[in-house]
């Protein structure tokens, strides 16, 4: 199975080999700001299973907090992934950037203690304060 994704303008295209792992919704302030919504929807993927095509050199990285880098398209602003310097072998792919359909469901809500006051979580997915 190959899961395909891209940025809004199509300048950056990516592929993930194999099934997606556990999906998560992160409610920390940083993920909310990076996603422009109530949470960041992500899936961790080993870099050995991830390919990125950026023929126009639009990919940019931003260090949003010490050791946390976020990659986005400099043309359209779409977030593509984030990673930690201490674990560069894992990238957290932004689910909204994926074009392929997939059946994996959300496994957890994290950093719920930081969630936006206006947001309510109404599913039965496990919630964690941190």
DSSP 66-86: TTEEEEEETTT--EEEEEETT
Residue 85, judged by CB atoms within 10 A of its CB (0-12, 13-18, 19+), counts as exposed
Is 45 inside any structural domain? yes
Is 74 inside any structural domain? yes
pLDDT for residue 125: 96
pLDDT band at 83 (very low <50, low <70, confident <90, very high): very high
In tens, the pLDDT along 2-49 reads 999 999 999 999 999 998 989 999 999 999 999 999 999 999 999 999
Q: What is the mean pLDDT of residues 77-89?
A: 97
CATH number at residue 79: 2.170.150.70
Domain hosting residue 54, numbered range: 2-21+41-104
- Number of independent structural domains in the chain: 1
Is 68 inside any structural domain? yes
pLDDT for residue 103: 85
Q: Cβ(23)–Cβ(43) under 8 Å?
A: yes
Q: What is the mean pLDDT of residues 67-87?
A: 97
Give the Cα separation of 25 and 6 in Å (integer): 20
Residue found by looking up tokens 């359209």 in the block:
76
Is 122 inside any structural domain? no
């Amino acid at each position: 199975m190959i899961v395909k994704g891209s940025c809004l303008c199509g300048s950056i295209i990516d592929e993930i080999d194999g099934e997606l792992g556990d999906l998560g919704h992160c409610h920390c302030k940083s993920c909310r700001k990076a996603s422009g919504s109530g949470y960041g929807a992500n899936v961790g993927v080993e870099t050995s299973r991830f390919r990125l095509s950026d023929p126009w050199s639009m990919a940019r990285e931003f260090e949003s907090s010490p050791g946390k880098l976020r990659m986005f398209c400099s043309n359209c602003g779409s977030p593509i992934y984030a990673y930690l310097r201490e674990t560069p072998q894992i990238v957290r792919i932004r689910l909204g950037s994926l074009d392929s359909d997939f059946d994996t469901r959300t496994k957890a809500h994290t950093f719920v203690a930081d969630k936006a006051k206006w947001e309510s979580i109404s599913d039965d997915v496990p919630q964690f304060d941190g």
